[in-house]
Amino acid sequence: MSHAVFQTPAPMNEGIKSYAPASMEKLLLKTELERQKRECVEIPLFIGDKQIKTNNTEEIRAPHDRSLKLGIYHKAGKEEVVMAINAAKKARAEWAAMSFEDRAAIFLKAGELLSSPKYRYLLNAATMLAQSKNPFQAEIDAACELIDFFRFNAYYMNKIYSDQPMVNPYGNWNRLEYRPLEGFVFAVTPFNFTSIAGNLPTAPAMLGNVVVWKPASTSMLSSYYIMKLLKEAGLPDGVINMIPGKGSDLGATLLNHPDLAGIHFTGSTSVFQSMWKTVGDNLSKNVYKNYPRIVGETGGKDFIFAYKDADASALAVAMFRGAFEFQGQKCSAASRAYVPKSLWPKVREDLAKMAEEVKVGDICDFKTFMGAVIDKNSFDNIVSYIEYAKKSSEAKIVVGGRYDDSKGYFIYPTVVETTNPKFKLMEEEIFGPVLTVYPYDDDSNDDNNNDDKLMEILKIVDETSPYALTGAIFAQDRKMISKISNALKNAAGNFYINDKPTGAVVGQQPFGGARASGTNDKAGSYLNLIRWLNVRTIKENFIPIYDYKYPHMQES
């Protein structure tokens, strides 16, 4: 038993490797890519101390080259779900009782292992091949952001535990005890960020919770290596149990279990709303021991708004990178833009030039900017929007509009110009490399009229989408920046001024949005971690009281 108040190391953001020509990191990553292309991995379930093969399998293929088989993964059924819940419950008491510094040490070690050549290139290559990210995108996601989550979450955990009552009256000692939730946490993670797949199960676990984790089927390769990483870092059996499979097959058993203590979710809005409804229905039936904590981040229809004095060149680059990095498969991706008519010709020209220069193709070619979208369903959905725009009298495609699924699921950067700010592509989440732009009128010389028109268009920006995840504005006049920011105060949980609406960094811009975008519990901050704790207040009295009477009742 130690007798000290420990402090975790002060966290720093992991440095980003450039993968420049002739660099050692490029050589090491290229070597690992070739190794994984030759290997066909068989991925089991991780339940307690067992790695289980159900023989109900699915293939893992590269989205940019469907002929490249990377592995197979075994899928869980109801029996395995029950096993995972029981394994988590079995591990809970010992894990919850472990000192915070011992728990923190596991994840701090995981961060150091991931920072090392052994895991950095392994996880980056898996993310590139199975999720079709280019080297830079994989580096900032699978390596840097996940390392940051491990380091900063340990720091935030320490900070939360250190928060104690300020007042202790004479003869009293007041304390706060931070307990993990009573039960298990169900973590559901998406395909598009390896770092999210790593953070959603580990953030609750770090606080002493036990977790049943269902990764996205299209990110199973990187999820497998995350489990290997955590095991090597010393994570005890049963603390995180990984059960791949179809959500509709697994969810009912988990969501209807009386020991469900929380849900940590990133994915589609419809799935999250369905889960919330199930929990609500179950509460009315007294299914649960406690009210489950529900933390979720879902979709976005993220905007860029430009004022007439915006830097047109910087605006165009922000629109291009914000919309087309990782093929627009980010919940934060720029999907709609409002550009003054006076700036639009220049911005449109710059966008067309960038789209013409950009390389779309195999991510193993380090000159590639855009890989493939994740699968056939995504490809078909995005194509349906492009075709809708082509046929509409309210829109025209001014950049791109091409797609090809003969080898991989490739969709080229596409910019749609519309005359209707409520056009379908301005309102609905597409989750692909399609940016729709509404050029708005800014040609009046009447300042009062201009101001009225500005507020009208800002009202449209605010009300067009049910989401409120990310948004960006471009302007130079500080008065206008303030006015526009205030008008869009509730339109985005992550708000950017003269920058693209993507690329939040742990410890710098905690991430999350409100409205239909989720619960805004800010991954990458203490605000998320505190949701996974159940606080007990302890008051200890050192001076016994032997008389029930109040002072004013005493005899004089």
Q: Which residues are catalytic?
A: 297, 331
Tokens of 150: 């491990």
Q: What are 352's two structure tokens?
A: 């067309």
3-state secondary structure (DSSP) of residue 160: helix
**Residue that the structure tokens 């879902």 belong to:** 298
Q: How far apart are CA 408 and CA 152, in angstroms?
A: 37
> SS3 for 67?
strand
**Residue 183 near residue 537 (C-beta atoms within 8 A):** no
The dihedral formed by the CA atoms of 138, 195, 9 and 538, expressed in degrees to the nearest 10: 170
DSSP code of residue 325? G
Quote helix, strand, coil % in the chain, to nearest 5: 45, 20, 35
Token pair listed for 13? 């953001």
- Residue 228: CA count within 13 A, CB half-sphere: 16
Write the CB contacts of 189 (distance below 8 Å, at least 6 apart in sequence): 196, 197, 200, 201, 213, 214, 215, 216, 219, 223, 266, 267
Reduced 3-state DSSP string for 329-384: CCCCCEEEEEEECCCHHHHHHHHHHHHHHCCECCCCCCCCCECCCCCHHHHHHHHH
